[in-house]
Amino acid sequence: MTLLRADLWLCGNLVGTAPGRRVLFGTLLGLCLLGAMSHWTFAALLEQPRLLRLLHQTTDGETLRGMLLLALGPCPIAASWLGLSLAQRQLFAAPELDLWRAAPLPAWRPALQVWLRAVATAWLWAAALAGPGLWLVLRHAGAPGSAQALLPLALAAATVPLLSALLGAQLLLVRYCSGRWLRYVLAAAAAAASLGFSLWLVLGFTASQGPRGLDPVPLATAAARQPWTLSSAADLLVAACHTDGPAGMRPLASALARTGGWLAGSVLGFWLLAHLHPRAVENYQGSGSSRAGRRRARSPAPQLWRTFLAKELGQVLRQPGALLGLLLYGAMVLALAQQRVGIAGLLELRSVPPDLRQLGALLVLWFLAVLLALYGHLARFAAGDAAPWPLLSAAPAPSGAILGGKLLATGCLLAWPLLLVAAAGGTRLGATPPVLGRYLLFALPGTLLALSALAVVGTSPPLLRPHLTGRASPGRNLGAALLLVLLFELLVAPLAAGGFWCSERLRLASPAEAERLLDVAVGVAWAYALLVALPCLWLSRWQFARLRKPV
């Protein structure tokens, strides 16, 4: 109970400090926004009689069960994200793990504490993502108050077994199949789970606001194909809705027993596997000190690249607040596409072929999306590392290696608006795969130009030198942001001018000539981007070396 009490004290102390209150406010605000979107989605679904009739047909008359399964759908997705990303890191690389192992605790206790943290976090996310929808479905069905009271148990039944299975499988793998490649696989799975969860949030909740988002056919199909792990939770709520008389209590008692069995079995199974945790942690920590790692110690540059890449991406992909920021940014980009901001006139030009109109609209949307994202990455190179900056300045490491890891991480994050616009083009504008492929060929050199502008401005000593007090001048930040926008527009201006010239030529060209002209335009765009990026990256490396010198 000591570890549990320490975690509860830590959560309670969030209210007592200013940083804790900011974290608590941001987390609660994000969960409330997700809950509001879930409420809006199911309120709109329940107003469609066609959906209810189709659900009645696809579920053999079990319309209520189908709607409950549909509402419980986010629970295994949230459990998978937490089990593969946040809980995995806590299980093998938590900062307090060495202290727990040195304390006089049972061998299984640290793993169980991580499991309790993961269960609490997964239940909160499931309550935000699925709770409002379940409540609306039960209220629409006229369920009694006892069914509403069983919602927390149903959310746990839909979340805990899968989370326990994922954590237990990782313990087994690391205990008996440890190695450097397994560590890479786990890290890749964690990053993929975090990115996939945020992408699912963006495409799932924001797509429901479009004209095709409430189409009953795919929704009814999804309700009929929910995983079997949700059946016990749905059966429990269905049984709680039909408790008329003693005959109605028997199905409820049976559903409660089955749900309790699932939960007890998952807890018992993980407790048995938790005894493997000490050896699994030793294997995980030892997998990073192989002979190949010792050979690479002679050349620290690649290792530094990986270290800073993992650090920058970890600050985004392993923090719920940062993921919520990605969600809100993605919703904003999709809203721009839905309202056709800046592209309505272009899409209505009848003198231009449809594919070219869509290509131009996608590139304009990408430009707007990158402009919205640039400021968030501005301090990533130097100003955002005020706390560890003395260590970075004194470290015997090449400036190019440190900056290379930061550039690579920022480039990966700049791929997010690229993918968002591609998703918006396919769902909102009806762009075909050839148009999307051509868009990616043009937008990738543009992303390289955006990264070049960020590197030049983000490493500028007069503007973004790290402040050891953590308080940067607002005037300097505003000046750096304006300079960044101006530089990015100047770098992209020749490509925009070339695009206008190509559009005039393509109006009168035959299909074969248009294809050749577009291929030449792609080559010119890449050559220009590389020609500009090389001196910009060299300048940023020189500026970063100046930043590391004592003032």
The pair of structure tokens assigned to 200 is 């699912």
Task: Round to whole Å and give the CA distance between 488 and 414.
Answer: 14
Percent of the chain as helix, strand, coil, to the nearest 5: 85, 0, 15
* Overall average pLDDT of the 505-512 stretch: 75
Give the pLDDT score at 295.
45
Task: Express each pLDDT in 452-500 by its tens digit.
Answer: 999 998 888 877 777 654 444 444 566 777 888 889 989 999 988 888 8
pLDDT value of position 252: 82
Q: Which residue has the higher pLDDT, 318 or 432?
A: 432
Phi, psi for residue 159 in degrees, rounded to 5: -120, -45
- 294 pLDDT tier (thresholds 50, 70, 90): very low
Mean pLDDT to the nearest integer, 339-363: 81
Q: What is the pLDDT of residue 213?
A: 44
The per-residue pLDDT for range 381-401, each reduced to its tens digit, is 777 776 777 777 777 777 787
**How many angstroms separate the CA atoms of 177 and 106, rounded?**
24
Average pLDDT over residues 497-504: 82
Tokens of 208: 């429901």
Task: Tell whether the model's pLDDT for residue 26 goes beyond 50.
Answer: yes
pLDDT at residue 447 in the model: 93
What does the alpha-carbon distance between residue 333 and residue 331 come to, in Å, rounded to a whole number? 6
The secondary structure of 201-263, three-state, reads HHHHHHHCCCCCCCCHHHHHHHHHCCCHHHHHHHHHHHHHHCCCHHHHHHHHHHHHHHHHHHH
Between helix 109-140 and helix 63-72 the angle, nearest 10°, is 140
Is the pLDDT at 132 greater than 70? The verdict is yes
Least confident of 322-331, 405-414, 470-479: 470-479
The DSSP secondary structure of 176-199, one letter per residue, reads: HS-SHHHHHHHHHHHHHHHHHHHH
Q: What is the mean pLDDT of the chain?
A: 78
Considering only 4-18, 52-66, 536-550, which range has the smallest mean pLDDT?
Answer: 52-66
pLDDT in tens, 267-277: 999 899 888 88
CA distances from 185 to 157, 287, 412 (A): 29, 12, 18
- Distance CA(447)–CA(452), nearest Å, equals 9
pLDDT band for 236, please (50, 70, 90 cuts): confident
Lowest mean pLDDT among 31-35, 116-120, 123-127, 327-331: 327-331
Residues of the chain with pLDDT > 90, as a percent, come to: 9
> Could you tell me the two tokens for 360?
């131009």
Task: Name which of 77-86, 324-333, 438-447 the model is least confident about.
Answer: 324-333
Domain range annotation of the chain: 39-286, 304-548
Amino acid at 391: L
For tokens 């920058």, what's the residue? 312
- Which contiguous run of DSSP H or E holds residue 69? helix 63-72
Average pLDDT over residues 150-157: 90
Any residues with CB less than 8 A from the CB of 327 and at least 6 apart, and which?
30, 198, 201, 202
> pLDDT value at position 530?
94
